[in-house]
Structure 1
Amino acid sequence: MNVLLIGYGAIAQEVLKHIGPDGDARITAILVRTGRVEEVRAAVSDRGIEVVSSFDDLTVSPKLVAECAGHAGVREYGADALRRGMDFLVISIGVLADTALYEELLAAAKEGGAKLVLAAGAVAGADALAAARVGGLSKVTYTSRKPPGAWKGTPAEEVCDLDALETETALYEGGADEAATRYPQNANVAATIALAGAGFGDTEVRLVADPEAGGNIHQVHAEGMFGAVDIEIRGKPLPDNPKTSTLAAHSVVAEIRRRAAPVEIGG
């Protein structure tokens, strides 16, 4: 299965470490901005990967396009890829809080006969929430607890002095829709939980800066006809990007492998 990566940042580079050139799934192309083509081409010259700045420049059409470029990557390339019949894997799921964009992507998928695929990201249990939704969910809450440094460059800097923080501080409490749009790099998990479970309007979110966190902590609680479930993930960020969970990057790897394998688990 031929795979194209959008972007060449921390997530894309982590994916390349785990998806080799000889498996059932192969990274055959990377799409980046025009100004980065030569730089990235040199970086992957030993892999035989095509580096382009447009789908029109591809010599081999991929079956799957994996977005590793943030919300802008989804907005710019998602609908185009889907209309061309390429399945589109999204890791920056928070962008789908934009209802108009989500509807556009769904329409493009139908038009191209392709699938919009949502990566599990940094949290476990999306499959359980989807199953629980069948019988009805009465409550879904999500808490994200991260070290202060992981919140730098976000609206959290207007809430408190992150460098001087000594005790845990709630940065946001509210719906998943606003959490995903206000904290796009930090709250993609909130969007994943919402889409898998009760929806953006019925998913309660709490974002916390905690000097004692020691990593990225994701806590999900759900109740419904099925019973109740509690999930906690204590993840570590990528070394090159404190705002991104290692598990989020590895969920892209897992999804690529799952789609190329003869046996599927979950999904």
Structure 2
Amino acid sequence: MTEIPNINLNNGVHIPQLGFGTFQIKPADTVEAVQRAFDAGYRHIDTAQMYGNEKEVGQAIAQSALDPTDVFVTTKLNNNKHSRDDALASFDTSLKDLGLERVDLFLIHWPLPAVGNFVDTWRAMEEIYQSGRARSIGVSNFQAHHIGRLLAETTIPPAVNQIELHPYLVQSELHAYNDEHGIATQAWSPIAKGLVLDDPTIVTVALAHNKSAAQVVLRWQIQLGNIVFPKSATPARIQENTAIFDFELDDSEMSMISSLDRGQRTGPDPDTFNYVP
């Protein structure tokens, strides 16, 4: 079984660097997918209120032979729960659905700059953290200027910033900003929904290491210091995605992959995305 390294967050909490993402996994398929992830060695599960599968993630944890304290669980605040009271109540619902007394990481899913004041939302997150029911709190899809407001106007800095990041969207400036402020970078859509897998540069590197293109991109993420959680409901791919710790990319290969950056998003722009369900 693969031993996955941990990263130390700015509040001392250890987070597995490789996790299992559940975005777009249907609730009916979630229990089996998460159980397969556990079998493959994953101990970090990423879900969200918006995904609609927190109950099934909780069922998978309860049905496994694992101690729940051995599983690192991340979930995220839905876009229609940004007021203080809604944030607190929805967090209670997440804990109930997950069947847990606390989560390891709770994130604001999107800043929604035109919808409300995410600074006030963050203050509700601070309350949750101070209650001990979330071991760490962070943000998702925040730009540097969003984080700058939090650092200037609130007390607790985010432990992580979960952003879209892949070879076609390297986000080097935002990554450096996170590093400068002690905020770990998590990468969602780490293989750009498959868009990068046929890139000739990545295919060449993969052939050199006798690895798949996806494994090479995930290894690139790991060596950048990112926390990454690929999503797949396919058993073979779930297993394959953990087999990235038995090889290393050299500096030239890392640079070659990073040079593919074209600023191409597969998801919304956080400065303009204001969707509320």
Q: TM-score, normalised by structure 2?
A: 0.34
Higher strand share: 1
TM-score, structure 1 as length reference: 0.35
